[in-house]
Chains A and B, each alone.
Chain A
Amino acid sequence: IAGITQAPTSQILAAGRRMTLRCTQDMRHNAMYWYRQDLGLGLRLIHYSNTAGTTGKGEVPDGYSVSRANTDDFPLTLASAVPSQTSVYFCASSRLAGGPDAYNEQFFGPGTRLTVL
């Protein structure tokens, strides 16, 4: 089934530990995104990638890093987790990052619920 998968589904992590959230899409989309969803704040963009080999910072990038070695995978790494990173993390992808496809629908994965203690 085409779409986006995220792993793990949920995780409890001790503060100071390193954690990588995985995201894979099989739609051959060029652009990928990581968001965090917090109560009362909606979804906020952490990092994005327009195409394989490139990444960029979103609205709340501090404490997170990403890589885009190929089209399908876009892992998000927390080098040293802190309690304020407790959140639900969504990966998304879109065919293009912009341009003629103006509406640029983003397809979201099911999310990873992360708790940092």
Chain B
Amino acid sequence: DQQVKQNSPSLSVQEGRISILNCDYTNSMFDYFLWYKKYPAEGPTFLISISSIKDKNEDGRFTVFLNKSAKHLSLHIVPSQPGDSAVYFCAAKWFNNNDMRFGAGTRLTVKP
């Protein structure tokens, strides 16, 4: 039973436009949510995170929004660049716990 779901396996956007990647979760006890980015033949790299006590966190072109009542979070990339083309994983964890649950990933393609 996947507790973190990314229902869109792929997304294609034009360079300069906004990319919106979505993630849903089922366990209301998750305390922290993270986004990881993965290029082919490399391990995932941490991108941005948000605590369950916040509803928005911004870092440069990347913003994560959390809607706890809907158990939904999204990653916004503005403006999108070709170098952003990668697989993005949403993850959730409990405070002081090792068990981080990942979504299946969304492959983002940014076209020049």
List residues of chain A with CB under 8 Å of any chain B CB: 4, 31, 33, 35, 40-45, 48, 50, 56, 58-59, 90, 92, 97-99, 102-111
Known contacts A33-B98, A43-B102; decide if A104 and B45 are in contact (CB<8 Å). Answer: no
CA distance A90 to B36 in the complex (A): 14
CA distance A11 to B101 in the complex (A): 26
CB-based contact A98/B89 at 8 Å: no
Which residues of B sit under 8 angstroms from A111, Cβ to Cβ?
A: 41-43
CB-based contact A59/B99 at 8 Å: yes
The range of chain B's interface size is 20 to 34
Which residues of A sit under 8 angstroms from B96, Cβ to Cβ?
A: 97-99
Nearest Cβ in chain A — how far from B43, in angstroms? 3
CB-based contact A108/B45 at 8 Å: yes
Nearest Cβ in chain A — how far from B25, in angstroms? 12
CB-based contact B98/A98 at 8 Å: yes
Which residues of B sit under 8 angstroms from A31, Cβ to Cβ?
A: 98
Nearest to B47 among chain A residues (CB) is: A105
CB-based contact A103/B49 at 8 Å: yes
CB-based contact B41/A58 at 8 Å: no
Scan B70-112; emit 1 where CB is below 8 A from any A CB, else 0. Answer: 0000000000000000000101010111111111110000000
CB-based contact A109/B43 at 8 Å: yes
CB-based contact B43/A90 at 8 Å: yes
Residues of B33-52 whose CB lies within 8 A of A: 34, 36, 41-46, 49, 51
Q: Residue among A4, A33, A59, A106 with the most chain B CB within 10 A? A: A106
CB-based contact A58/B97 at 8 Å: no
Nearest to B9 among chain A residues (CB) is: A40
CB-based contact B100/A40 at 8 Å: no
